A and B are shown apart, each in its own frame.
Chain A
């Protein structure tokens, strides 16, 4: 029998640091792979970035006139912060599609049979998807500015609002990874592409929940999208004073953290149980 002189039991902290270094290096390699996907399939990526603009135009110009908004604000100003949040929700599809495609094509198994850490795979996905969403947010914000949307607060508050939006995106990343690992194949992503619509509509993104039946409005108010939208409206000062929900910002920090606290361990557990 080959006996293994185990030096592993005396791992120095240097070795641990080296391993951590490789986690980041591998994660970056995997993130770069996604950036290469953008170059190989620019059509898909650009469509994903432009799609929210189409929704803004549709609601802003077509339906907007007929929608009642809280006093002291225009529909367009009301809509933009909500659309930023919806764009973060759309990112869920991107994450789920990437994760489920890798699993279906055996790429996940290939990663798992290689001497690299699972954290690197996840971290790489995280970097790539966050970059994607940042670009999407910038494109939508610039479009909004061109069409007349403005923030009325400080630049710092505006950045804080974008930060909260990306925090929501970060939370949805884990939902996407979890659902992607559980999906039967890329086809199941189509279901999610449909489901994002009722989730978006059942929020304060497009209409004021005060105009809904009380019970439905209550559900809409607690939609994480609504919470982040409210916080963004508050920080951008895009809502009349009556709208400034006192705790919106606090909730917009807490709720994504709760989602992350639930779905991050679930994703890790699912990944570990792929070997069952």
Chain B
């Protein structure tokens, strides 16, 4: 890839906050997002996700390094960058007092649409984000998921080339989370490049083509969701046998499929084994238990969790974190 096909290109970006209190800095942040793809920037609190988004959206000055968005330099061509981006910040940045339609009209007008075009665009977006029924409801009275959807709709008034979405589902209930995911998928279908930050592996998994894992202001791993999980995490196969008496027999059956040590919890009659090839292990184990005529109460595959991936990365990657002011 080069800057022609990269919607976002950052190299060696550094940012240190004075006093260090306000947020996490960046220590040599590199990122490349291909045009028309969705990139998930995944990391725990304080990894520098929001700082990265703010720098790329021209809201924050960088100390060192280079960043280009939609082909323009975020420092020297900030005004041009702003013409090509949309930003959905961590908190729904909408006017709480105005209604959904008034919000869309306001930001439409500020994007220099004519009154007529702004109205048409507002109608279209209300429809697209399933907000027609709430069109005349003040934003402060919306549910969390609806508010986020309105926020997204406002960011899309002029169809930005690159959309930054900072922790879109933090603080939402599961229903709201699904609503927002559906909304983001719609954008992706329309070809918008999306850079989204999240703390949840599941969210990145659901939405992103590629994931960059951020820790202490640097990208420490990058790849497709499956790449990352197979490289850094462990899949677990959990079985629960019917009776305590079956545990020893079950252990013998499972041993050949295990890629590591077995975990046995006699009290709940649960045995967990780490597996390499998920599908082969699942089908193999099922057949083996059928052949041995041992009844299973439950059988399930667990994907690695973000915690596991992070634990793995924490133990294997030096952080180079700048000394912090206590």
Contacts and interface: CB of A to CB of B under 8 A. Distances in A.
A contact face: mostly helix, strand, loop, or mixed: helix
Contacts of B58: 112-113, 275
Contacts of B4: 1-2
Interface string A85-126: 000000000000000000001110111111110000000000
Interface in A108-167: 109-116
Nearest to B112: A22
Contacts of B107: 110, 114
A29 B107 CA distance: 9
Nearest to A34: B97
A266 to B, nearest CB: 19
A1 B3 contact: yes
Interface of B: 2-4, 18, 54, 57-61, 71-72, 77, 79-80, 82-83, 85-87, 89-99, 102, 106-107, 109-112, 138, 154
Given A4-B71, A113-B87, A276-B60, 18 more contacts: A1-B4, A4-B80, A29-B106, A33-B102, A106-B91, A106-B93, A107-B93, A107-B94, A109-B87, A109-B89, A111-B110, A114-B111, A115-B79, A115-B82, A115-B111, A116-B110, A274-B59, A276-B18
Interface stretch (A35-43, A65-73, A74-82, A249-257): A35-43
Contact of B97 (A26, A29, A41): A41
B48 to A, nearest CB: 16
21 contacts: A2-B3, A4-B72, A22-B112, A26-B110, A30-B110, A33-B106, A37-B97, A41-B97, A105-B91, A105-B92, A109-B54, A109-B87, A109-B89, A112-B58, A113-B58, A113-B59, A114-B107, A114-B110, A116-B110, A274-B59, A275-B61
A113 B109 contact: no
B138 A40 contact: yes
B60 A275 contact: yes
Contacts of A26: 109-110
Contacts of A4: 71-72, 77, 80
A168 B91 CA distance: 35
